[in-house]
Amino acid sequence: MSHGRPGARGPVPGGPVTKTVGIDLGTTFSLVATVADGRPRIIDDQGERLLPSVVGFSGRGELLVGTPARNQYVLEPEKTVKSIKRAMGTDERVTLAGRAYSPQEISAFILRELKRRAERALGEPVERAVITVPASFTDAARRATMDAGEIAGFEVARIINEPTAAALAYGIDREADQKVAVYDLGGGTFDVSIVELSQGVIEVRASHGNTRLGGDDFDQLIADHVADGFQRQHGVDLRQEHRSLARLLRAAEQAKIALSDGPYTRVTEEYIARKVLIPLHLDAELARHEVEDLIRALVRSTLSSVDRALQDAGLRPRDLANVLLVGGSTRIRLVRQMVAQHLGKEPRVEMHPDEAVALGAAVQAAIIDDDPVEAVLVDVAPHALGIETMHVVLDHLLSDRYAVLIPRNTIIPCSKSEAFFTLTPEQDRVRVRVYQGEEPVASRNRALGEFLFEGISAGPPGKSREVIVRFDYDVNGIVQVSALDRRANRSTGITVAPSRDRLGDEEKAQAREHLAETDRGLERQIAALLRRAERSMIRLEAAGQGAVAEEVLSLAGDLERARQERDYEQARVLIEALSDRIYAHEA
């Protein structure tokens, strides 16, 4: 029976009836997945879903794979190897316990551990696997991956491209014909693929990337930044000693992960170095904006690959129906923002980026086994959640703004926090109003609750006071909203229950009409003000006030552009500015 999807075929007649599993053999982590009762799921081992792609030998010669090897890397990096995926298809060798190993052999250790994990969970032998590879992998790297699978004891039923697997996990093969960009930024590799679904068949039309770019490189930049600060403070370079460097890189990775959900984190490692027999400790604070500045150039380089892939496919960004984010590094807020801005489309995020490829590989495995497959089930936030804020733009106060902390379709449970600042250094209290919805104007969304946070500690002289707002969204749909004064380590908050109800067609139609009427009223206001500005410029020119007339002309031009671009938020600011300028010279 054909499912109309790539590689569909039934079991081999007379062959062994064993389950085929799906494997994501990753640079940083690897996963194995299966389809049970029609649903793709990750196979975990005592709660551990992701197996670190790290291999080593202990001092006693014991083979270590996964978390034990990753833990050893911090203390004995010379006895451990990670990111071997970057060497697949090359003649490189790594030496462990006095013996040289090929990349295939190291990868086979990881695959064998995944095989054992699957057999323990399923209670039966697992002999066949679908293994994924980056679309940019060379033929040599693909053959090396197949060799690694066979060394591990698998019959490799199929090698499939990671973007194809991601598309299968998202259920793209069940949707209408379309073209999709799969942006895959993992621990050690990056590629973007343009995937086309046509009559149920998924095909990679173009791909571009960098097999030596990923989260590991972000970790290195963060580690260098922290090490430079430590060296300025203590005169010791942590990068010169293997153990110190390994601990530093681990701390940098943890900081990167923490900053995906919050504005600040601390990097702490006790006894990380010594200076004249005196132990030195690492304790530094990192802000999200600092890390974003460090990695921005690397993220920007991935967008060049996006453009190249689109060009090779003969497409423009507006031809894409969806953008899928895959790989753990796409959890970084800056990555999501830059991809969305570059393509003019919000990426789909309703699946764990670490797991999408493995789940898609399991879908392909089920197709090969001729097993029924249903959609991947994930629990997501049905609406965005955020708070009301105020901004000062062009010396004008812009109120009733909506700052989203948890975007719609974010996987739950989750925790997100952001830093906000008072309007003036003297302000020592804020009212936190919580909303649910997607409208940029806060009051157009559904109010969920509010609370007053008082006694905010003063910041540096002349600087506004800082408040950290945090949202904790649990699996039951309950959200804890809290405000934190970092300087005093004091917080307060409320509990809210976001509505999961969908609006009816009539309610949505009424809401659309209300918004349209609001926009029409603003259009009329803009038109009237522009006519008034034209009359004012004529009078100013006649009065010999050409410079002021130029200012009015400039503001009027900006307002007209904002109207044409339907940037009504900016238009409201310009209306106030232009009105004030005209009034000042008409009075």
CA atoms within 13 A of residue 463's CA, in its CB half-sphere = 11
Catalytic-role residue among 147, 173, 184, 418: 184
Does 85 qualify as catalytic in the annotation?
A: yes
Expressed in angstroms, the distance from the first to the final Cα of the chain is 82
**Catalytic option among 105, 113, 162, 485:** 162
Q: Counting Cβ atoms within 10 Å, is residue 504 exposed (0-12), middle (13-18) or buried (19+)?
A: exposed
- C-beta of residue 162 within 8 angstroms of C-beta of residue 130: no
Give the DSSP per-residue string, 529-561. HHHHHHHHHHHHHHTT-HHHHHHHHHHHHHHHH
C-alpha dihedral, 481 to 484 to 490 to 491, nearest 10°: -10
Residue 581 in contact with residue 555, Cβ under 8 Å? yes
* CA trace torsion 546, 548, 550, 553 (10° rounding): -130
Q: Verify whether residue 184 is a known catalytic residue.
A: yes
Q: Judge contact between 470 and 416, C-beta under 8 A.
A: yes
Report yes or no: 459 and 446 within 8 Å, Cβ to Cβ. Answer: no
Q: Assess contact for 492 and 483: CB atoms under 8 A.
A: yes
Catalytic residue among 19, 82, 85, 416: 85
CA pair distance 25, 107, nearest whole angstrom: 8
> Which one from 19, 24, 191, 354 is the annotated catalytic residue?
24
8 Å CB contact between 422 and 430: yes
Provide the edge-to-edge strand list for the sheet that holds 466-473.
414-421, 466-473, 479-485, 490-496
Instruction: Round to whole Å and give the CA distance between 111 and 23.
Output: 8
Query: Which DSSP letter does residue 22 get?
Result: E
Distance (Å, whole) CA 213 – CA 207 = 15
Q: Which of 144, 109, 145 is nearest to 129 (CA)?
A: 145
Q: Are 20 and 129 in contact (CB under 8 A)?
A: yes
What's the Cα-to-Cα distance from 180 to each of 162, 349, 579, rounded to whole Å?
A: 13, 14, 46
As a whole number of angstroms, the distance between CA 435 and CA 383 comes to: 10
Nearest by Cα to 556 from 586, 585, 526: 526
Residue 496 near residue 405 (C-beta atoms within 8 A) = no
How remote is the C-alpha of 520 from its chain's centroid? 37
The identity of residue 503, as a single letter, is L
Structure-token pair, residue 380: 């997501």
Segment (H or E) for 366: helix 356-368
162 classed as catalytic:
yes
Task: Output the six-digit token pair for 262.
Answer: 């919050």
The string of DSSP codes covering 243-291 is: HHHHHHHHHHHHHHHHTTT-SEEEEEEEEEEEETTEEEEEEEEEEHHHH
* Known active-site residue 580: no
Question: Active-site positions?
Answer: 24, 85, 162, 184
